[in-house]
Structures are given as structure tokens and as C-alpha cells.
Amino acid sequence: MWFSATLIFRSEIGGVRSIRPLCEERVVLFETSNEQEAIKAAEAYGRREAHSYANESGEEVRWQFVGIDKIHALDSPTAEGWEVAAKFVRRSWPTLQKLVRSQ
């Protein structure tokens, strides 16, 4: 079965957490046997994609995986694990905290 997962990443600059951080919503495709396996694959992908770098001012910019916003079964996508859409948005902390799963 194929699934699309909308993953949320949030940014943090210089170790400062914003009340409305810049977030990326990224849609990625996965082929798994069921929805639970798709969730596991999406979470693993999200953890792998977290990264940091220094901006032009020398501040550390961190992109952290927050969680899965949506997951949908699909009829027939064409490629596994390919990002099919992404956008940057600002989200409130209460919205982000709903996505964080207990580890």
C-alpha cells in the first residue's frame, strides 16, 4: 500500500525558541504494508532529515522533526520516499505539541 505523510519540521535560531516558529510542512510518499508501518517509516524519515547549519550571522539554525500532521492511503503513487510537496509556515506551540509523540 502507498501512503502520503505530511511531516512537520520547526526551526530554531541561536537556541532561541520563537512563540510562532517557522515550520516546514513536507509531504512524502511511503510504500508499506499498513498505516502503522507507514507511520514508523515517516517518523524515521523525519528524524533522519533533522539538521543544523550556521547562517550568515554565524548563528546555529536547527531544523527539528516535530511529528506527523496527516497520513493518507493512496491509490497509485509513482515513487517511494520522495518528497512531493513542502511549504514553510508559522505554527503556534500548542499546535506543535499535539504532534509530538511520546518516545
Element (H, E) at 87: strand 83-90
Question: In total, how many domains does the chain have?
Answer: 1
Q: What is the pLDDT of residue 47?
A: 97
**CB of 30 closer than 8 Å to CB of 38:** yes
What is the pLDDT, as a whole number, of residue 103?
Answer: 36
The pTM of this model reads: 0.75
CA–CA separation, 83 and 44 (whole Å): 14
Tens-binned pLDDT, residue by residue, of the chain (103 aa): 889 999 999 999 998 888 889 999 999 989 999 999 999 999 999 999 999 999 999 999 999 999 999 999 987 656 566 667 778 888 787 777 777 754 3
DSSP letter for 14, please. Answer: T
Please report, for residues 60, 63, 103, the alpha-carbon distance to residue 38 in angstroms, rounded to integers and kept in the order given.
Answer: 32, 22, 17
Q: pLDDT tens digits, residue range 33-56?
A: 999 999 999 999 999 999 999 999
Task: Dump the DSSP string for 26-73.
Answer: EEEEEE-SSHHHHHHHHHHHHHHH-EEEE-TTS-EEEEEEEEEEEEEE
Q: Which domain holds residue 69?
A: 2-99
pLDDT on residue 83: 67
